Structure 1
Amino acid sequence: MRIVSLSYPVSAEIAKEAAEPKVAAIGQFDGLHQGHASVLTTAINIARENGVPAALITFYPHPKDVIGKGNYEGYLTPQPDKQRLLEEMGIDILYIVEFNKEFSQISPDTFVEEMLFPLNLQTAVVGFDFRFGHKGAGDAAELQKLGDGKMSVVTVPPFLVDGEKVGSSAIRIALKTGKLSDANRWFGRNYHIRGSVIHGEKRGRKIGFPTANLELTDPYVVPALGVYAVRARMDHQDNWIPGVMNVGVKPTFHEGITKPIFEVHLFDYDGDLYNQFMTVDLVQYIRKEHKFESVQELVEWIQRDADEARKILNASESKF
């Protein structure tokens, strides 16, 4: 997959390199959930049928990060994760448009004339709720009109799971309220985070449950505080290791911590993980974080959580 960084307006050099006709999906696609996948798959299929490259035009940073609209915090799929998933899906060219205050002010017709036409789009593929231009003034119908015969537009309808429309906002709420099963169902995969293993307080080692403390590589959406059944993998490994993760503020030992700490205990693993990068798949939410009256009570609960996580992960493995 070729990655091209763009800024407004598209330069003559980029336009010259983009002379080949192409089909492009357009959108933010934070999450790359099943609804997004339906748009991208449509674009890829049309591109393959016409023998042209399949592209994606997306924006970074997230527009809501720049204009401060809505309750927005963190990414469901940070840019490095998005790039990996897009390549696996079959996108040939990824255009990353720098989203800034100036770009947020352009009109729909300027967006088409100075951003899309120079990229020589044969077909633009968008979701049913696609909006573009200053204050979202343009929609799919407007995009078709502005295409003026030079560019066709395909609008993909809502993607439904169990009768519910899949959307990033609903996934964010599900993650933050402990409804991980809903989030994963709408994703079509397990939500994951990635971080480097750093030194912690090493208290887990003393009580028989050593943990890898993660410093996240990107500003992920932080899921509900609590305990999760997980699978983890280091960058240099192919196999997933079962485990249990606590996302929390250690209320048994501390007061006043506000930034969540990610601690992963891997089952039957004895190796040095410090300074390695770990990807953690969140398989199932087990319980909320508790404050315990004693270390012994904490140890007993950790053992219960570990046993529960093993059962969950064994059951999920048997489905495949």
Structure 2
Amino acid sequence: MAIGQFDGLHLGHVSVIRRALEMGRSLGLPVAVLTFHPHPKEVMGKGDYEGYLTPLRDKERILEELGVDYMYVGEFTPDFSKVLPADFVANVLLPLEVEAAVVGFDFRFGFMGEGTAESLGPLSGGKIAVETVSPFLLDGEKVGSSGIRAALKAGDAEKARLWLGRPYRVQGTVVGGDKRGRTIGFPTANVDPSGHYVTPAKGVYAVRFGLGDEVLDGVMNVGVKPTFTDGSVKPTFETHLFDFDRSIYGEEVWMDFVRYIRPERKFSGIDELVAQIAKDAEEARRILKG
């Protein structure tokens, strides 16, 4: 069993899970991941929590793709945060018949994070073998969820992709918008996210857009459309798909953030906005061809 929050399932997390998969194969055991939901930072109101990199449904899909047999989800509540490390081992891990646990170098568990990788084995009475995986470094930096969040907030979709090992993806459903894009020659798919995702920096992105078995190219604006609103509305995800003209309202889709093109800004009028969207679309086509 690999144990951790694993929000993002980035390269560091994947190194822990792959080690569990290797051990499972060598020991002839099924491999499970134990994660927690909601995020402890969300429940406790601490730290830099502003949404998920991988909401639960996304996490389940990625773990299945990695070859994990079971995903257990511990419901994180204020009461659960007070569970002592010894009780967590006795009442959660041992009843699941965990024989070997794989954790990251910074793994903590139980009340006030008092449980450590070093204490896990002894607390199980020696029934659980424990292996700790070292930090995953890229260019000398430790890959972590907080760094990915910071990259997304700064519009650095490329760094987020490098650390995640794949583009940052938001899934959702195409919903009706104000239909203004169609009137100016750039119809857009307005996507309502299916989970509480980290919202990247407002601005324009080159994206890949998944619709069923199709993968389409497009240019997306994340933001509040300041040319038409006072900026107080919730950010929207609106994608203009290239060479595409079908109604896809109600469809479940995904959007991969490939590269940030420019920040969102307010234009003096429709003509200036249309000219800029045309430039953005041309730039996004160039990026996605590369």
Task: Output the TM-score relative to the length of structure 1.
Answer: 0.89
Structure 2 counterpart of 1:63, one-letter code: P
Q: Counterpart of 2:264?
A: 289
Distance in 2 (CA, whole Å) between partners of 1:200 and 1:286 is 23
State the Cα distance separating 1:257 from its structure 2 match: 2.3
Runs of 4+ in 1 over 2 A off after TM superposition: none
Distance in 2 (CA, whole Å) between partners of 1:289 and 1:305 is 11
State the Cα distance separating 1:148 from its structure 2 match: 2.4
Q: Counterpart of 2:60?
A: 83
- Of 28, 34, 39, which aligns to 2:16? 39
Matched residues, number = 290
State the Cα distance separating 1:144 from its structure 2 match: 2.5
Unaligned runs of 5+ in 2: none
SS at match of 1:72: coil
Q: Counterpart of 2:187?
A: 210
Quick one: percent identity of the two aligned structures? 56
Unaligned runs of 5+ in 1: 1-23, 316-320
Aligned ranges 1:100-119 → 2 under 5 Å: 100-119=77-96
Q: Counterpart of 2:210?
A: 233
Over residues 220-265 of structure 1, what are the superposed CA-to-partner deviations in whole Å (9 max), with x where a residue is unaligned? 000000000001012xx22210000000111111114241011010
Structure 2 counterpart of 1:269, one-letter code: F
Distance in 2 (CA, whole Å) between partners of 1:263 and 1:48 is 44
Q: Counterpart of 1:310?
A: 285
Q: Counterpart of 2:238?
A: 263
Answering whether residue 128 of structure 2 is matched by residue 151 of structure 1, we say yes
SS at match of 1:183: helix
SS at match of 1:66: helix
CA contact (8 A) 2:20 2:31 kept: yes
Structure 2 counterpart of 1:306, one-letter code: A
Distance in 2 (CA, whole Å) between partners of 1:98 and 1:27 is 13
Structure 1 counterpart of 2:190, one-letter code: N
Structure 1 counterpart of 2:273, one-letter code: L
What RMSD over aligned residues (CA atoms) do the two structures have, in Å?
0.9
Task: Output the TM-score relative to the length of structure 2.
Answer: 0.98
Aligned ranges 1:135-150 → 2 under 5 Å: 135-150=112-127
Distance in 2 (CA, whole Å) between partners of 1:256 and 1:66 is 29
State the Cα distance separating 1:201 from its structure 2 match: 0.9
SS at match of 2:108: coil
Distance in 2 (CA, whole Å) between partners of 1:56 and 1:233 is 27
CA contact (8 A) 2:225 2:231 kept: no
- Of 213, 238, 251, which aligns to 2:226? 251
CA contact (8 A) 2:148 2:160 kept: yes
